[in-house]
Amino acid sequence: MEPNGIDGDTAAAMEVCVSPGCQFRHRRTAKKITRAKKDHRTDIAPAEWGRYNYAALLNPTARAGGAEALLSCPESVPRVDAKTTSPAEFIASYEMRSRPCIIANAINEWPAMRRWTFDYLEEKWRNGHFKIGEDDRGHRIRVKLKYFVDYMRHQTDDSPLYLFEASAEDSPATMDLIDDWWAPAHFPEDLHNILGDDRRPPWRWFMIGPIRSGTTVHRDPLGTAAWNAVIQGEKRWALLPPELSKRLVKAKMLLRDGEDDEAIDWFHNLLPRLKAFHRAETGQELPIYEGITRRGDVIFVPPRWWHAVLNLSDTISVTQNFVSPANFALAWESMRRSRRLLSCRWLRRLQRFHPDLYSLACRYDREMAMARQVPGSCSSSSSSSSSDSSSDEDEDSTIREQMRRSEARYSAAETEAIRAAYAPARRGSGRVGGTDDGGDSGGVCAGV
Ligand SMILES: O=C(O)CCC(=O)C(=O)O
Ligand SMILES: [Fe+2]
C-alpha cells in the first residue's frame, strides 16, 4: 500500500499518481503538462515556471501584504445591473459610445451558471481535448481536461497555462459544452453570423484560467467588440482607450533586466510604472479603466480598446467577439483591408440579410477608395442577390432561422428600443479610418 492509501494496482486502474514527489492525482498529468510547457514556451525550461515565486504573493489564502497590489485595484469600470438597465439602455449609454461597462445579472439563466463547477466540468468532459497553448509554429497544444484540472489544482507557476478553446463544438466529446451558454440579451446583434459558423473568424471561447494566468495587453482583431462572462472566480481587468499607442500600453521600455512580460508581470510590475511614467511625461493620469469581474458579471470591451486580464483565482469564463451596427464601420473597413475574400462573402450576405448595412458598406468603400485613390469595390457585379449555390441556400435558411430565434427573445417594444438605439450607426454615423491592419482596400468582388 502506498502512503496515500491507494495500492499500486488500484492506482494504475484509476490512473492515480503514486510515484514519490508526484503532486498530481493522475499518473500522466506531470508528463502531459511538462510536454505542453516545453512546446508552449521554448524560452524557459519547465523548472523555471516558478522562478519569481508569484505563488507566494497571489494564492488562494495569501490575501495580505504584497498581494494587495495584485488583488485590489481602483474599480473604475462603470457597473450596471441587467435587472434595471435594459439592453437598449446599455446600447445607447455604453456600446454606442464605445465605453467599457460591467453588467451584473445578465447571465443568471444560463445552465452554465447552475452547473459549471470545476468538479462538474472535470467529470463531464474529462476525456475531451482542450487547447492550452500554441507551439512556436502556431500549432494548437491540446490535453485532456482531466489532466488540465489536475494541473490547475496543484500548480504553483508564476504564469500558468491557460485553457482557451474556440472549437469545442467540433468534437463529439465536447460539443454539448456550447449548449450551456449563449449571448446575453444585452448583445442582440452579431453581424458576422451571416458568414456561417464554418467561415467566420474565430469568435467564441470557453476558458479555464488557473490563478495567476492571464492575457497580456492586446486589442481584439477585425474591429470586433467583445463580451466576457465569468462563471466561477474573479478576473482583474485593465482597459485603455484606442488612442494610446501600442508601444506605450505594452510598456516594454519599462521592463527591467531579468523580468518577464506575462500578464501577471504587466499588472504587478509594468502597470504601476506605466502610471508613474505617464504622469511624469504628461502631467496627467493615465487614461485607464480598471475593474474586477466576479461570478455572474459580463464585461463589455469596446472595439479597438487595449485590454489585459489577470485571473485572481481559478476561473471559468466564456467570451465572444462580435460586430453590431455600433462597430460595423470599423469592422467593415478592417475586414476589407485584411480579409478581402471573406469581405466579399460578407458583402453578398449583407445585401441579402441587411440591405441597409450593405448600402453603408458600399458608401464606406467609396470613401476609402477616394481617400486612397483606388477603385471602389461595390460595382454591380460585386454581388448577386440570388444564392450562389445550393449549399448557400441551405445556409440561408439556417441564418434566417437564427435571426428569427434571436428576434423572438425580445418583445416588440424591446426590439423597437434596440433598433432606435442603433439607428444612428445604421445611418452611417460610424467613422471609417484609423485602423492599422495594413492591406489595401481597392479592387472589386466580381467573380469571388
Ligand atoms: O479572459 C481573458 O483572459 C481575456 C480574453 C481576451 O481578451 C480575448 O480572448 O481576446
Ligand atoms: Fe481580447
In a domain, 134, yes or no: yes
In a domain, 41, yes or no: no
Kindly give the distance from the C-alpha atom of residue 231 to the centroid of ligand 1, in angstroms, as a whole number.
Answer: 14
Question: Is the CB of 307 inside a 6 Å radius of any atom of ligand 1?
Answer: yes
Question: Which residues share a beta bridge with 143?
Answer: 130
Closest Cα to atom 6 of ligand 1: 215
pTM: 0.91
Largest CA distance in the chain: 79
157-172 tens-digit pLDDT: 999 999 999 988 888 8
In a domain, 390, yes or no: yes
Question: Is the CB of 228 inside a 6 Å radius of any atom of ligand 1?
Answer: yes
296-331 tens-digit pLDDT: 999 999 999 999 999 999 999 999 999 999 999 999
Same-domain status, 117 and 206: yes
Residue 380 confidence (pLDDT) above 50: no
In a domain, 381, yes or no: yes
Section 195-210 average pLDDT: 94
79-111 tens-digit pLDDT: 999 999 999 999 999 999 999 999 999 999 999
Query: Which residue of 307, 313, 322 sits with most ligand 1 atoms within 8 Å of its CB, as the best mutation to test the pocket?
Result: 307
If phi > 0 it is left, if psi is from -120 to 50 it is alpha, else beta; for residue 140 that is beta
pLDDT at 5: 55
Ligand 1 nearest atom to the CA of residue 164, by list position: 9
In a domain, 44, yes or no: no
CB 86 within 8 A of CB 414: yes
Write down which residue in 264, 290, 325 finishes a domain. Answer: 325
Same-domain status, 308 and 382: no
pLDDT at 50: 96
Same-domain status, 193 and 262: yes
Section 67-86 average pLDDT: 89
Weakest mean pLDDT among 8-12, 34-38, 214-218, 359-363: 8-12
Same-domain status, 216 and 310: yes
Query: Which residue of 102, 131, 230, 309 sits with most ligand 1 atoms within 8 Å of its CB, as the best mutation to test the pocket?
Result: 309
Write down which residue in 325, 359, 377 finishes a domain. Answer: 325
Question: Is the CB of 165 inside a 6 Å radius of any atom of ligand 1?
Answer: no
Weakest mean pLDDT among 152-156, 223-227, 253-257, 442-446: 442-446
Cα 37 from Cα 40, distance rounded (Å): 5
Same-domain status, 306 and 180: yes
Residue 10: CB atoms within 10 Å: 13
Question: Is the CB of 309 inside a 6 Å radius of any atom of ligand 1?
Answer: yes
Q: Closest Cα partner for 87 from 445, 422, 432? A: 422
Q: Does the CA dihedral 396-401-405-411 come out positive or negative?
A: positive
Write down which residue in 325, 358, 390 finishes a domain. Answer: 325
286-299 tens-digit pLDDT: 999 999 999 999 99
Same-domain status, 321 and 331: no
Section 428-436 average pLDDT: 56
Same-domain status, 258 and 340: no
Angle at alpha carbon of residue 16, lines to 12 and 18, rounded to 5° = 90
Side-chain half-sphere CA neighbours of 137 within 13 A:
1
Cα 147 from Cα 157, distance rounded (Å): 16
Looking at the 3D structure of the chain, how many domains does it have? 2
Phi, psi (degrees; rounded to nearest 5) at 171: -115, 135
CB 208 within 8 A of CB 105: no
Question: Is the CB of 220 inside a 6 Å radius of any atom of ligand 1?
Answer: yes
Indicate which ligand has the atom closest to the C-alpha of 218.
2
Same-domain status, 311 and 195: yes
Same-domain status, 303 and 333: no
Same-domain status, 255 and 381: no
Domain carrying residue 269: 69-325
In a domain, 7, yes or no: no
Residue 433 confidence (pLDDT) above 60: no
CB 188 within 8 A of CB 167: no
Kindly give the distance from the C-alpha atom of residue 162 to the centroid of ligand 1, in angstroms, as a whole number.
Answer: 11
Same-domain status, 147 and 250: yes
Same-domain status, 100 and 144: yes
Side-chain half-sphere CA neighbours of 313 within 13 A:
16
Q: Closest Cα partner for 435 from 376, 385, 372, 345? A: 372
What band does 381 get if pLDDT is binned at 50, 70 and 90? very low
In a domain, 447, yes or no: no
Question: Is the CB of 215 inside a 6 Å radius of any atom of ligand 1?
Answer: yes
Question: Is the CB of 216 inside a 6 Å radius of any atom of ligand 1?
Answer: no
List CB contacts of 208: < 8 A, sequence separation 6 or more: 118, 121, 130, 148, 149, 152, 162, 163, 314, 315, 316
Tally the residues of the chain: 448
CB 240 within 8 A of CB 306: yes
Q: Which carries the bigger pLDDT value, residue 362 or residue 388?
A: 362
In a domain, 4, yes or no: no
Which three-class secondary structure string do you get for the chain?
Answer: CCCCCCCHHHHHHHCECCCCCCCCCECCHHHHHHHHHHHHCCCCCHHHHHCCCHHHHCCCCCCCCCHHHHHCCCCCCCEEECCCCCHHHHHHHHHCCCCCEEEECCCCCCHHHHHCCHHHHHHHCCCCEEEEEECCCCCEEEEEHHHHHHHHHHCCCCCCCCEEECCHHHCCCCHHHHHHCCCCCCCCCCHHHHHCCCCCCCCEEEEEECCCCEEEEECCHHHCEEEEEEEECEEEEEEECCCCCHHHHHCHHHCCCCCCCCHHHHHHHHHHHHHHHHHHHHCCCCCCEEEEEECCEEEEECCCCEEEEEECCCEEEEEEEECCHHHHHHHHHHHHHHCHHHHHHHHHHHHHHCHHHHHHHHHHHHHHHHHHCCCCCCCHHHCCCCCCCHHHHHHHHHHHHHHHHHHHCCCHHHHHHHHHHHHHHHCCCCCCCCCCCCCCCCCCCCCC
Kindly give the distance from the C-alpha atom of residue 217 to the centroid of ligand 1, in angstroms, as a whole number.
Answer: 10
Cα 49 from Cα 159, distance rounded (Å): 7
pLDDT at 446: 55
Question: Is the CB of 320 inside a 6 Å radius of any atom of ligand 1?
Answer: no
Angle at alpha carbon of residue 209, lines to 205 and 213, rounded to 5° = 120
The winner for highest mean pLDDT among 64-73, 391-400, 428-437 is 391-400
- Can you give the CATH number for the domain in which 231 is found? 2.60.120.650
Mean pLDDT of the chain: 89
Residue 435 in grid coordinates? 485602423
Closest Cα to atom 5 of ligand 1: 215
Indicate which ligand has the atom closest to the C-alpha of 320.
1
